[in-house]
Amino acid sequence: MNPEEYESLRGRLIDAVWRDLEPLVEQIENTEHIPHETLWTRLLEMGALGLLIPAQYGGSGLTITQYLPLIAEISKVHGGIRALVHVHNSMCHALWELGSEEQRGEVLRRAVRGEASVAFALTEPEHGTGRDVGTLALRDGAGGYRIRGRKWLITNSNFASHFIVFARIPDGDVPVSLLVPRDARGFTIRGLPETMGCKGGQHGELTFADVPVGADALLGEEGDGIAKMEQALEISRVLVAASSLGTAERALELSLAHAHDRVTFGKPIGTRQAVQRYLAEMAVDVYALREMLRDAAAKWDRGERIPAEAAMCKVFGSEVVGRVTDRALLVHGGIGYTRAHDIERLYRDARLNWLEEGTPTIQHMVIARELLGGGARARALAGATAKGRRER
């Protein structure tokens, strides 16, 4: 999309976010339920369902650099809506990156029209992250598989039409990724308890009771499962960090307004050194995260893989949004702990960012692995130069 078209789209979408989505927030917070049909219609009308889907499938075909400020803006309005939009767009992008032309064609054109959506099925109740996957893909003798196992905390499970499911073939412990339709026989979904923040979305539990899928469900080749998972997570982590940025920006914006408006002892609290320090620290964090995201997005858009940069953005974004919303609460004082101000909701919504696409310990592991891997990339990440590098 050329710059003129993009700026027009960006302006229309941001206007629609505050005009059409913000009025839903109070209802969602009161009922802990997103009115899916209403929201989906509004997202479709504003063009938010095909932002990362290429134009050949009817989407906008945005670059990651172009998409980041849009998901950040949605994060300012409501965390539950943001989570829904994030998973839909990032997993459609993952299918475009990882799937065959037949798999893309089946889903992506319908996703742009709001008739399909893709969710990410990795996390399990009895296993860890990444290689520790308990879900089995048993070869059925006809070239397909029977999936057996459980996933949980799967966002958008209440409406997704397809799930990217990570499993392993027990014979040889071969990792695979499979595209599973919602209506597959033996596949059941149930909701889990409501979350602390990001209200209204469903993070469900999936049960696979020998679910049959054909060979055409396989994403890539047998043995590609871990690589496919890591590639899907890579850019999604950047997008979670962009969500952290949006929440932090909104918290800073509201805190600045409150520091001007709140008067004690005859002066705005913004004249007080302690409050000024809070605001300055918040601004430093926001600025640093924004620049990190620009760098990571530019590299991805150039066709580079960014495992370390994505993990850095994700873990730093989580820390930033935690610190900024902490300080926003302190700037607002006691009234900020009530629903009289949006800070209370932003504070709760921010905490999901710690957990999405891997906890901080996972991000640290990925970063360290890349740094210790050696080669030019590791040296560049560490900022080493030929002259300043200590030879081993």
- Does residue 387 register a pLDDT over 60? no
132: helix, coil or strand?
coil
Question: What counts of helices (H) and strands (E) characterise the chain?
Answer: 12, 9
Query: Which CATH code is given to the segment(s) 226-380?
Result: 1.20.140.10
Q: Which pLDDT score, from 0 to 100, does residue 385 have?
A: 64
Q: Which pLDDT score, from 0 to 100, does residue 391 have?
A: 47
Does the domain at residues 119-222 carry the CATH identifier 2.40.110.10? yes
DSSP designation for 59: S
Domain 119-222 in the same topology as domain 3-116 = no
Share of the chain above pLDDT 90, in %: 88
Q: For residue 10, give both structure tokens.
A: 């960006």
Q: Which pLDDT score, from 0 to 100, does residue 392 have?
A: 42
Domain residue ranges in the chain: 3-116, 119-222, 226-380
Domain covering 3-116: architecture: Orthogonal Bundle (1.10)
> What does the pLDDT look like over 93-113, one tens digit per residue?
999 999 999 999 989 999 999
Angle at 201 between CA 211 and CA 6, to 5 degrees: 100
> What does the pLDDT look like over 222-243, one tens digit per residue?
998 888 889 889 999 999 999 9
How crowded is residue 355: how many other Cβ atoms within 10 Å of its Cβ?
14
> What does the pLDDT look like over 282-297, one tens digit per residue?
999 999 999 999 999 9
**Residue 357 catalytic?**
yes
Q: Which pLDDT score, from 0 to 100, does residue 379 have?
A: 85
Q: Model-level pTM greater than 0.75?
A: yes
Which position among 291, 357, 370, 391 bears the catalytic label?
A: 357
> What does the pLDDT look like over 307-345, one tens digit per residue?
999 999 999 999 999 999 999 999 999 999 999 999 999
- Per the CB < 8 A criterion, the answer to whether 278 and 255 are in contact is yes
Q: Which residues of 221-254 are buried (b: 16+ CB within 10 A; e: fewer)?
A: ebebbbebbebbbbbbbbbbbbbbbbbbbbbbeb
